[in-house]
């Protein structure tokens, strides 16, 4: 879709949400608990759904690709034939709300431009479906609150598409931080970025659709890894923005650096860019260090420690593990490793970064508390 089409669909979606406000909530959630595998419908069939999510679902143990929602009619037949999706499980953005009547779909995964996350997540919740909302969770904190509230009112589960929270390398960093074999963390640094050379009209470069540039895309990974690299939420942040290709990045941020302060005195640094390749996490402890490089990519990931030990896990689809984790949370009551509160916390930090930049790099206090997130999920 081009940006004009997305704006049109967004307007239609908001209208649909308003209309739904007077409709009783769907209440067919009990059946999911009796299933061995949960059906997922992907909303938006762009490159991430096509090349990562759909293939990952073919190998998932606790969920499967049950349906699709697309605004491109040409894609319907292709996906139906490739994945054996029945016609009754195929929706578009106009008839999406009728998904409430479909018992074969338990989870809706919203994989649309950021400006459409809140609308379709809320509509999915009101249809009685559990929700995975792709990162970043929304355009702002207010939308995050609206999504969380809608899911609570409908009694459905909510997760943010933070694939790295299910990755074994991430959890190894968390273990080292928690168990302290190298002592206390003293410094953490995380970089996440790539060089954008594509169509300047793509939605990621349109602030009305993306909400921002590198920070709203890759920067969320840097924010996350700095936090789990310390095991605490930051208490303040200051940030700076740089642009070397203003003719291309006319509407969104190109490169951003930020410095975090943590309550135990640890210092964190992050870098994100749409004009530089960056893919690393470095955690410095009192008695050593650990590095993941590459860190944020789809894998394989690679890690090492100051003792010369390699961190190595068998490579598998991060998306498969992520979706299986959420399905297990619904079916078995296991922890939700990427709850909506985590997405809201990160959006609070993103907004503080943009505010710091607007005020010349001023230090911005952060009052995050635990944001409803248990410590092991930080």
Distance linking the first and last C-alpha atoms of the chain? 36
Q: Please say if the pLDDT value at position 313 is more than 90.
A: yes
Q: What span, in angstroms and rounded, lies between the C-alpha atoms of 232 and 165?
A: 15
Q: Please say if the pLDDT value at position 2 is more than 80.
A: no
Q: What span, in angstroms and rounded, lies between the C-alpha atoms of 236 and 29?
A: 41
Say which DSSP state 165 is in: G
Sort 70 into a burial class: Cβ within 10 Å, 0-12 / 13-18 / 19+.
buried
Sort 374 into a burial class: Cβ within 10 Å, 0-12 / 13-18 / 19+.
exposed
CB-side neighbour CA atoms (13 Å) of 197? 3
Structure tokens at 37: 């595998």
Q: How do beta strands 255-261 and 236-242 pair?
A: antiparallel
Mean of all residue pLDDT scores within the chain: 91
Helix (H, G, I), strand (E, B) or coil at 244: coil
Structure tokens at 378: 């930080």
pTM exceeds 0.95: no
Per the DSSP assignment, residues forming a β-bridge with 261 are 236, 267
247-275 mean pLDDT: 97
Indicate if the alpha-carbon torsion angle 206, 209, 215, 220 is positive or negative: negative
Q: Which residues are catalytic?
A: 135, 221
Q: Please say if the pLDDT value at position 32 is more than 80.
A: no
- E-state strands within the chain: 38-43, 63-69, 90-91, 107-110, 130-133, 158-160, 185-195, 236-242, 255-261, 267-273, 275-285, 288-292, 303-305, 310-311, 364-365
What is the tens place of the pLDDT at every residue in 151-206? 999 999 999 999 999 999 999 999 999 999 999 999 999 999 999 988 899 999 99
Q: Please say if the pLDDT value at position 272 is more than 50.
A: yes
Indicate if the alpha-carbon torsion angle 272, 168, 60, 123 is positive or negative: negative
Q: What span, in angstroms and rounded, lies between the C-alpha atoms of 289 and 304?
A: 9
What is the tens place of the pLDDT at every residue in 298-312? 999 999 999 999 999
Indicate if the alpha-carbon torsion angle 65, 130, 125, 117 is positive or negative: negative
Domain boundaries, the chain: 28-160, 164-311+340-377
Q: Please say if the pLDDT value at position 348 is more than 80.
A: yes
**Domain 28-160 class?**
alpha beta
The most distant pair of C-alpha atoms in the chain lies apart, rounded to whole Å, by: 61
What percentage of the chain carries pLDDT values higher than 70? Answer: 89
Amino acid 198: pLDDT:
84
- Give every CB contact of residue 39 below 8 A, 6+ residues apart in sequence: 63, 64, 65, 66, 67, 89, 104, 105, 106, 107
Q: Given this chain, do its domains 28-160 and 164-311+340-377 carry the same CATH topology?
A: no
Contact between 170 and 218 (Cβ < 8 Å): no
Q: How do beta strands 185-195 and 267-273 pair?
A: parallel
Structure tokens at 28: 């067919």
Cα separations in angstroms, 58 against 63, 75, 115, 323: 9, 19, 29, 11
Q: Please say if the pLDDT value at position 376 is more than 80.
A: no
What is the tens place of the pLDDT at every residue in 90-114? 999 999 999 999 999 999 999 999 9
Q: In b/e form, how buried is each residue of 196-215, taking b as 16+ CB within 10 angstroms?
A: beeeeeebbbbbebbbbbbb
Structure tokens at 171: 């959890």
The CATH architecture to which 164-311+340-377 belongs is: 2-Layer Sandwich (3.30)
Amino acid 371: pLDDT:
55
């Amino acid at each position: 879709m081009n940006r004009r089409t997305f704006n049109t669909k967004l307007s239609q979606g908001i209208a649909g949400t308003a209309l739904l406000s007077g409709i009783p909530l769907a209440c067919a959630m009990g059946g999911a608990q009796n299933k061995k595998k949960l059906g997922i419908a992907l909303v938006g069939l762009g490159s991430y759904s096509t090349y990562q999510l759909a293939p990952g679902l073919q190998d998932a143990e606790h969920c499967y690709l049950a349906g699709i929602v697309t605004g491109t009619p040409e894609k319907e037949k292709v996906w139906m034939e490739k994945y054996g999706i029945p016609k009754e499980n195929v929706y578009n953005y106009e008839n999406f709300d009728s998904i409430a009547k479909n018992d074969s779909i338990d989870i809706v995964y919203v994989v649309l431009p950021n400006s459409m996350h809140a609308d379709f997540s809320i509509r999915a919740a009101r249809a009685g479906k559990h929700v995975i909302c792709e990162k970043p969770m929304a355009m702002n904190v207010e939308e995050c609150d609206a999504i969380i509230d809608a899911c609570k009112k409908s009694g459905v589960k909510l997760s943010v598409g933070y694939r790295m929270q299910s990755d074994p390398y991430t959890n190894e960093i968390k273990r080292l931080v928690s168990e302290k074999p190298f002592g206390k963390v003293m410094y953490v640094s995380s970089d996440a970025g790539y060089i954008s050379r594509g169509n300047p009209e793509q939605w990621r470069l349109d602030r009305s659709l993306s909400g921002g540039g590198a920070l709203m895309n890759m920067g969320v990974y840097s924010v996350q890894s700095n936090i789990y690299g310390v095991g605490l939420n930051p208490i303040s942040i200051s940030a700076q923005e740089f642009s070397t290709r203003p003719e291309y990045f006319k509407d969104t941020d190109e490169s951003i650096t930020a410095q975090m302060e943590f309550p135990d005195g640890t210092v964190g640094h992050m870098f994100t860019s749409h004009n530089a390749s960056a893919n690393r996490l470095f955690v410095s402890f009192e008695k050593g260090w650990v590095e993941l490089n590459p860190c944020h990519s789809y894998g394989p990931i690679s890690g090492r420690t100051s003792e010369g030990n390699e961190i190595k896990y068998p490579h598998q689809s991060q998306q498969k593990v992520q979706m299986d984790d959420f399905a297990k949370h619904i079916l078995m009551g296991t922890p939700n490793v990427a709850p909506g509160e985590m997405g809201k916390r990160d959006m609070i930090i993103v907004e503080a970064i943009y505010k710091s930049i607007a005020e010349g790099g001023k230090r911005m206090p952060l009052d995050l508390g635990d944001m409803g997130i248990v410590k092991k999920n930080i």
